[in-house]
Amino acid sequence: MLNIGIIGLGSMGMTHFSAYAALPKVRVVAVADQKFSRPEGAVGRAGNIAGQSSTVDLTGVKKYVTAEELLADPEVTAVDICTPTLLHKALALAAIRAGKTAVLVEKPLARTAAEAREVLAVAEEKGALLFPAHCMRFWPGWDWLKKAVAEARYGAVQSAAFSRLGAKPPVPLYNDAAAIGGAHLDLHIHDADFVQHVFGRPTAVTSFGRAGESGAIEHTITHYHFSGSDALVTAEGGWTRDAEKIPFVMRYAVTFERATAVYELGEKPSLRLYQAGKSAEEIPLADALGYANELAEFVRCAREGKPSPLVSGADGVAALELIEAELESIAAGKTINL
Ligand SMILES: NC(=O)c1ccc[n+]([C@@H]2O[C@H](COP(=O)([O-])OP(=O)(O)OC[C@H]3O[C@@H](n4cnc5c(N)ncnc54)[C@H](O)[C@@H]3O)[C@@H](O)[C@H]2O)c1
């Protein structure tokens, strides 16, 4: 049995809590959230994806108000950090230094690449599993794309366009550029990481961005350059203003030499494959959220004490380095080499 402690029981903490509850040989033994100092306690805010939880049953689970209390609990062996981004570095370091052997950190791994490198260095020194929660790597339909590209199943990729548009979360924190980094960091990092996961490290980025009311980049578009490939790879991310009326957009369209694949989250996720001379093919998608697959992998790695072949602490650092190169490109108005 793996004993988990979750720090931060908001939208993502509840989603993770529910995903663990559905897995064998793992249990959440403790949660820490400053909101337990208030009577309404356990209620959260729903996330962007249908099926995410906004309440959980905490019967039999220890409730702490501070992360320190949870980290001092010897029953907790693995820690899952779902607090706002600005706290990721300090809490990840505290968890590793408290002797916890496996630490999952919600994306981004830290507020900056420099901070993330610090966390990675300490995790390596102490031999702890550091697992940044880059959930798209585990998402049904996105895992399909990773394999299709790796196997060159339909020939080389000619273009790949990713897009992600959603409501700015309706809490004041998201107007704090220093804490959140706008949609560029908060939302678009999902696609920046996934591009790197599928196509490898870009050699350069050309990015465009528009600052929003937070002062940070709230709408962003990047063209990724790769050596030895002329594939046109782009990703767009942004917060919408009238988002209550617009469903969350999570989409990719990838043209290969011999096929085109289009994924749409929509009301029901769909992945269609179009090939010349054939009718459109509906690719069956597992009826699960990527979070469930991601946490199953974290639990497997934590139990076996082995790193995951699907995501590593170094990937968490690399995603932030890419995000920062894109910001540099936006600010300088030119292509930035990596
Ligand atoms: N993977 C994804 O798809 C995804 C989606 C949304 C958010 N996230 C990430 O998850 C993290 C949390 O986002 P969220 O939307 O769940 O936020 P949220 O505001 O819903 O939840 C954060 C929780 O942390 C608690 N908290 C704050 N400071 C604390 C402290 N010092 N000690 C203990 N608890 C504390 C808050 O009370 C709150 O309940 C962020 O880093 C965000 O980037 C990931």
| Paired residues of 256 in beta bridges | 157
| Residue 81, CA atoms < 13 Å, CB-side half-sphere | 29
Ligand 1 atom nearest 14 alpha carbon:
16
Residue pLDDT, tens place only, 110-154:
999 999 999 999 999 999 999 999 999 999 999 999 999 999 999
How many angstroms separate the alpha carbon of residue 10 from the centre of ligand 1? Answer: 5
pLDDT computed for residue 308 by the predictor:
97
pLDDT computed for residue 242 by the predictor:
65
How many angstroms separate the alpha carbon of residue 320 from the centre of ligand 1? Answer: 18
Residue 133 CB–ligand 1 contact under 6 Å = yes
Residue 115 CB–ligand 1 contact under 6 Å = no
CATH H-level superfamily of 2-134+292-312: NAD(P)-binding Rossmann-like Domain (3.40.50.720)
Domain-by-domain residue ranges, the chain?
A: 2-134+292-312, 137-286+320-337
Listed as own residue / partner, the contacts of 148-156 with beta carbons closer than 8 Å and 24 or more positions apart are 148/256, 148/261, 149/198, 149/199, 149/254, 150/198, 153/256, 154/256, 154/257, 154/258, 154/259, 154/261, 154/275, 155/256, 155/257, 155/258, 155/259, 156/229, 156/231, 156/256, 156/257
Residue 325 CB–ligand 1 contact under 6 Å = no
241 pLDDT band, cuts 50/70/90, is: confident
Residue 35 CB–ligand 1 contact under 6 Å = yes
Listed as own residue / partner, the contacts of 201-206 with beta carbons closer than 8 Å and 24 or more positions apart are 201/318, 201/338, 202/226, 202/233, 202/322, 202/338, 203/227, 203/337, 203/338, 204/335, 204/336, 204/337, 204/338, 205/322, 205/325, 205/326, 205/329, 205/335, 205/336, 205/338, 206/329, 206/334, 206/335, 206/336
pTM of the predicted structure, to 2 decimals: 0.95
Residue 45 CB–ligand 1 contact under 6 Å = yes
Average pLDDT over residues 45-52: 60
Average pLDDT over residues 208-234: 96
| Paired residues of 6 in beta bridges | 31, 80
pLDDT computed for residue 256 by the predictor:
98
Residue 337 CB–ligand 1 contact under 6 Å = no
Residue pLDDT, tens place only, 75-120:
999 999 999 999 999 999 999 999 999 999 999 999 999 999 999 9
Ligand 1 atom nearest 88 alpha carbon:
41
Contact predicate 169/206, CB 8 Å: no
Residue 106 CB–ligand 1 contact under 6 Å = yes
216 pLDDT band, cuts 50/70/90, is: very high
Same CATH fold assignment for domains 2-134+292-312 and 137-286+320-337: no
Q: Which fold has domain 137-286+320-337?
A: Dihydrodipicolinate Reductase; domain 2 (3.30.360)
Higher pLDDT, 310 or 240: 310
